[in-house]
Every structure is written in structure tokens, then in C-alpha cells.
Amino acid sequence: MSLFANIDWSDIGFATLDTLTMLGGSMALTVILGLPLGVILFLTGKGQMLENKAAHTVLGLLVNILRSVPFVILLIVMIPLTVLLVGTSLGVAGAIPPLVVGAAPFYARLVETALREVDKGVVEASFALGGSRRQVVLGALLPEAMPGIIAGATVTAIALVSYTAMAGVVGAGGLGDLAIRFGYQRFQTDVMVVTVVVLLILVQVLQMVGDAVVRRVSHR
């Protein structure tokens, strides 16, 4: 018996593609929602430009609640909302809403942390040079925090890889689904090994690309 007797490489190929689609789609939406959320969390914080205790507390609470729900639970709890949003809770499309809801608050916190790392003096100087709030946020604060914001995106993308595998449990497709249905339920250990290796390579590539981009934008 050959080593990879049970492997249908085209299945692996399609599953990988599904995983990549889920990852790409949910990552894009996570950034689109999480980045502004992180910026607002930061700006409404104590001593910041738009200090607003009520808004900051409410947003912070929302983020914490979403972050404290285990992703497997979130997947299931979200099903009605997911159906409402994309018409199905299955497949790649059905996986994206819970992935975004799980990852965006996480990313928002990382963005907030990255913004807090920016030297307050640089922000003050930007105001002293005649900048408006908007100009200071877009022209100084975000560029200065960019290495941290991108490093945060890398961490989030890698978390999303494991989330997509979990999403396989509720019928999202992709590598996680393959690993569970074939690798686990049919005892096809070779399928399990291959999916794990593909996921490993994916994580590795994400980390390397992320690190390379951070190096490129960081001039500290």
C-alpha cells in the first residue's frame, strides 16, 4: 500500500482553495471593520483626541464580549444571523460572517495597541505644525503605527487560518472540513497529515510575508 493511498490530490487542491478564499474574504472584511474600530477605540480613550468615556466603554465592552465567546460557539450562535446576511450558513460564504465577527474585534484591539505605542510627542508635534485632527490621524498617527498594524494583521490572519479549520466543523468546507471528514471520521491518517502540512505551510508563508512587510515599512 502506497504511503498516500487515500489521498485525492484534487480534493486537497479544492479544499486549499476554499480555505484561501475564506481566509482572503474574511481577512479583507476583518481589516475593513477592525481597523476603523481600533482607531475609534484608541481615539475615544482617556487623554486622546476624541476622548469619550461612554463610547469607549461601550465599544470596549462589545469587543470584549465578542472576544470572549469561543469561536466554535460563535459559529453556531451566529447561524441565524449568517443566514440573514449571506443566505446560507454553509460553505465558504456561510463561514465568512462568523470568521469576521470572531476576528475583527481581535484585530481592533491589536490596532488600538499599535496606536498606543506611537510616541505622543510625534502627535503633539503634528498639531504644533498646524495639522487638523484628521490630518494628524491619517498623516502621522496611522503611518507611525503601520508596523504594529501590519504585525497585528499577520497575527490575525494566522488566527483566521485556525478559525477556518474550525469552521469546517459546521460545514464550511476547506482543509479543516477535509481533515475532519476524511482524516478523523474515516481514519485516513494520511489525509490528516497532508492537511496539517498544508495548513502549516500556509501559516509559515503568512508569517514570512507579514514579517517582510513590517520590515519594509518600519524605519525605527
Partner 1 sequence: MIRFDSVSKTYAASRGASGHAALREASLEVAQGEVFGVIGASGAGKSTLIRLINGLELPTGGKVVVDGDDVAALDVAGLRALRRRVGMIFQHFNLLSSKTVEQNVAFPLKLAGRAPAEIKTRTAELLARVGLSDHATKYPAQLSGGQKQRVGIARALATGPKILLCDEATSALDPETTEQILALISDLNRELGLTIVLITHEMDVVRRVCDRVAVLEAGRVVEEGPVEEVFLHPASGTARRFVGEAEEASEVALPAGVLVRLTFKGEATYKPVLGAVARETGVDYSILGGRIHKLRDAPYGQLTLALTGGDIEAAIVRFEAAGVRVDRLEDAR
Q: Which three cell numbers stand for residue 119?
A: 510616541
Quick one: 4 or 127, whose CB is closer to partner 1? 127
Residues in the chain: 220
Quick one: 9 or 220, whose CB is closer to partner 1? 220
Quick one: 186 or 216, whose CB is closer to partner 1? 216
Q: For the CB of residue 104, give the shortest distance to partner 1 in the complex, in Å.
A: 25
Instruction: Please report whether residue 121 would count as binding partner 1 according to CB under 8 A.
Output: yes
Half-sphere exposure at residue 195, Cβ-oriented, CA atoms within 13 angstroms: 33
Say which residues have a Cβ less than 8 Å from residue 157's Cβ, sequence separation at least 6.
23, 27, 206, 210
Cα distance between residue 53 and residue 61, in whole Å: 12
Give how many residues touch partner 1 by CB under 8 A: 21
Quick one: 68 or 134, whose CB is closer to partner 1? 134
- Choosing from 84, 125, 169, 197, the residue that interacts with partner 1 (CB under 8 A) is 125
Instruction: Please report whether residue 51 would count as binding partner 1 according to CB under 8 A.
Output: no
Residue appearing with cell numbers 487515500: 6
Dihedral sign of CA atoms 110, 113, 119, 123 in order: positive
Instruction: Please report whether residue 127 would count as binding partner 1 according to CB under 8 A.
Output: yes
Instruction: Please report whether residue 119 would count as binding partner 1 according to CB under 8 A.
Output: yes
User: Among residue numbers 134 through 153, which ones bind partner 1 (CB under 8 A)?
Assistant: 135, 139-140, 143-144, 146
Say which residues have a Cβ less than 8 Å from residue 133's Cβ, sequence separation at least 6.
49, 50
Quick one: 1 or 128, whose CB is closer to partner 1? 128
**What is the four-CA torsion angle of 87, 89, 91, 97, rounded to 10 degrees?**
90
Binding site for partner 1 (CB under 8 A): 119, 121-122, 124-132, 135, 139-140, 143-144, 146, 217, 219-220
